[in-house]
Amino acid sequence: MLVVMQPNASAADIDKVCDEIVRQGFKPLPMPGAVRTAIGLLGDDAQVDWSYIEGLPGVANVLIVQKPYRQASREWKNENTIVEIAPGVRVGGSDVVVFAGPCSVESEAQILASAHAVRNAGAHALRGGAFKPRSSPYAFQGLGLEGLKLLALARNETGLAIVTEAMDERGADLVAEYADCIQIGARNMQNYSLLRHVGKLGKPVLLKRGMAATINDLLLSAEYVLSEGNPNVILCERGVRTFDSATRNLFDLTAIPVVQKLSHLPIMADPSHGTGLRDKVTPMARAAVAAGADGILVEVHPTPDKALSDGAQSLYPEQFTELVRQLRLIAGAIDRQLAPTPVR
């Protein structure tokens, strides 16, 4: 439920509504806007006496949010949310951002070479997993804490923001210490205790769509993070499983405008996991920006044939450089622009 105040409502009117919400056993969330304040009511609001609240001084109207994911919905908040993951790296505004790097952090030389290559090409953040969710327990699982330290070193050298995955609560605490944005991977999109935990940490969260998740499921998962008081959620389409084995996943480009209609949260696209095939990454990255994605997440490796994970879908640095050049043109064609490269 959302209590919309009149534009001339006083601070005392707002306080009175908040007090009434507390009196009824709920939590108020005042959201000052450019023209007027709205006050969200958090909790299971089916039992609220909203007609009383509607009669309080300064109240314009009470909106019953129909969507199950409430705070993630456009009914709750109409203007686009911009998530600033590091100074100047804003996701969800008119700038388009590029997060790039290897699937996994493998060594100091590999991550530094990746960081320099993607930065020189125009990326804004370095991605790379230190904790890897692998289908096989015998596959490379990531360097763990050592990987996080290498990412921090790469940030120092290049000025790039750092995005890396957390697979559990303990890992999330470590990631929050070293990185700028916590990635929650497809396999953990419905790990509700992890979502609540990163909601409490307050760090920006990149939430990837589960491989069999509907968009409703994705937005409900985002709601878990928002409901803990963390508004900094970036959604990411990364393909869903289907019957066709021609590509690793079915990259659902339609998810971009669908999410944008339903939610104010930024939405990025990951054509690397979305397709699983290097030669399909560039066309689908171009298409994602054309479709309105707020940014792309793309795997780039200095030597993909030697990569310890996802080499087959990783771009060579030269391919990535050419992709960023093209994305700049595509963003311009839809009245957007690539974000400026962060200062070192």
Cβ of residue 43: shortest distance to ligand PEP, in angstroms? Answer: 31
Instruction: Take residue 177 and report the two structure tokens written for it.
Output: 């210490």
Backbone angles phi, psi at 269, to 5 degrees: -135, 145
- Selected from 103, 125, 281, 308, the binder of ligand PEP by CB under 6 A is 103
- Selected from 21, 118, 186, 215, the binder of ligand PEP by CB under 6 A is 186
Q: How many CB atoms lie within 10 A of CB 195?
A: 26
Q: Is 95 in the site for Mn ion (CB under 5 A)?
A: no
Is the CB of 62 or the CB of 151 nearer to ligand PEP?
151
Per partner kind, with CB cut-offs from 5 to 8 A, the member of ligand PEP, Mn ion, none near residue 238 is ligand PEP
The interface region with Mn ion, picked from 45-53, 102-110, 173-181, 276-284 by CB under 5 A, is: 102-110
Please state, in angstroms and rounded to a whole number, the distance separating the CA atoms of residues 282 and 215: 24
Please state, in angstroms and rounded to a whole number, the distance separating the CA atoms of residues 91 and 96: 7
Q: Is 285 in the site for ligand PEP (CB under 6 A)?
A: no
Q: Is 283 in the site for ligand PEP (CB under 6 A)?
A: no
Q: Is 310 in the site for Mn ion (CB under 5 A)?
A: yes
Is the CB of 122 or the CB of 271 nearer to ligand PEP?
271
Q: Is 185 in the site for ligand PEP (CB under 6 A)?
A: yes
Amino acid at 50: W
- Residues ≥6 apart with Cβ < 8 Å to 46: none
Which value, in Å, is the radius of gyration of the alpha carbons in the chain? Answer: 21
Cβ of residue 131: shortest distance to Mn ion, in angstroms? Answer: 12
Q: Is 273 in the site for ligand PEP (CB under 6 A)?
A: yes
Cβ of residue 120: shortest distance to ligand PEP, in angstroms? Answer: 22
Half-sphere CA count of 273, side-chain side, radius 13 A: 23
Per partner kind, with CB cut-offs from 5 to 8 A, the member of Mn ion, ligand PEP, none near residue 208 is ligand PEP
Cβ of residue 223: shortest distance to Mn ion, in angstroms? Answer: 26
Binding-residue total with Mn ion (CB under 5 A):
2
Query: Which positions from 167 through 226 interact with Mn ion, judged by CB under 5 A?
Result: none
Q: Is 171 in the site for ligand PEP (CB under 6 A)?
A: no
Instruction: Take residue 140 and report the two structure tokens written for it.
Output: 């490379």
Q: Is 133 in the site for ligand PEP (CB under 6 A)?
A: yes
Nearest Cα to Cα of residue 316 among 304, 328, 307? 304
Contact 336, 98 (CB under 8 A): no
Q: Is 7 in the site for ligand PEP (CB under 6 A)?
A: no
Backbone angles phi, psi at 193, to 5 degrees: -70, -35
Q: Is 304 in the site for ligand PEP (CB under 6 A)?
A: no
Per partner kind, with CB cut-offs from 5 to 8 A, the member of Mn ion, ligand PEP, none near residue 133 is ligand PEP
Determine the 3-state secondary structure of 24 from DSSP.
coil
Cβ of residue 133: shortest distance to ligand PEP, in angstroms? Answer: 6
- Selected from 21, 103, 215, 315, the binder of Mn ion by CB under 5 A is 103
Beta bridge partners of 266: none
Instruction: Take residue 243 and report the two structure tokens written for it.
Output: 């019957």
Half-sphere CA count of 246, side-chain side, radius 13 A: 5
First to last CA, the chain: 44
DSSP letter for each residue of 26-45: -EEEEEE-SS-EEEEEES-G
Half-sphere CA count of 199, side-chain side, radius 13 A: 15
Cβ of residue 213: shortest distance to ligand PEP, in angstroms? Answer: 11
Binding interface with ligand PEP (CB under 6 A): 103, 129, 133, 185-187, 208, 238, 273
Binding interface with Mn ion (CB under 5 A): 103, 310
